[in-house]
Amino acid sequence: MLCSHESPEGGPAQLLLLNDGQDMQALGLEQQLESLFRSHPHKLYVVAIHAGPQRKQEYGTAGYIDFQGRGCKADLYSRFMIKELVPFLQQQYHLHFDKKAVAGFSLGGLSALDIVWNHPRDFQSVGIFSGSLWWRSRDR
């Protein structure tokens, strides 16, 4: 899902990457964004990334799997976002994003936090909603 709104006055482009994009329709994201754009015009691109069957392996903390081995592909997912997805969006839509953020729910929130924390030059903001911050390397 890609939603965008360009304000009449132009200005810098902003990017929001959302984990668990497959859930955005159930959350009414498109309607919420339309309402936001009407009341606060600005140039914003929102990309909702669908998680696949490897979600529990791709989300987590890069370099620190949990005690059950979850998150072993988190580093690959981080690199995908930084090295592939953002450059693709910039090239495909001929944009330069002045500000970039990552957000997510549950494990997607933990993933967002980890990506932004470890890549502050690439992302300026993070959104964590009911984040799975219980992540740990051992079982209690």
Q: Please answer whether residues 115 and 46 qualify as being in contact, where contact means their C-beta atoms are separated by less than 8 angstroms.
A: no
Rounded-to-integer distance, Cα 54 and Cα 26, Å: 21
Q: What are phi and psi of 32, to 5 degrees?
A: -65, -40
E strand intervals along 19-139: 44-48, 97-105, 125-129
Comparison of pLDDT for 36 and 80, the residue scoring more: 80
Rounded-to-integer distance, Cα 137 and Cα 21, Å: 27
| Residues 8-62 pLDDT 10s | 455 678 999 999 989 888 888 888 888 888 887 778 899 999 999 999 999 999 9
Instruction: Please tell me the pTM assigned to this model.
Output: 0.86
| DSSP H or E stretch at residue 86 | helix 86-93
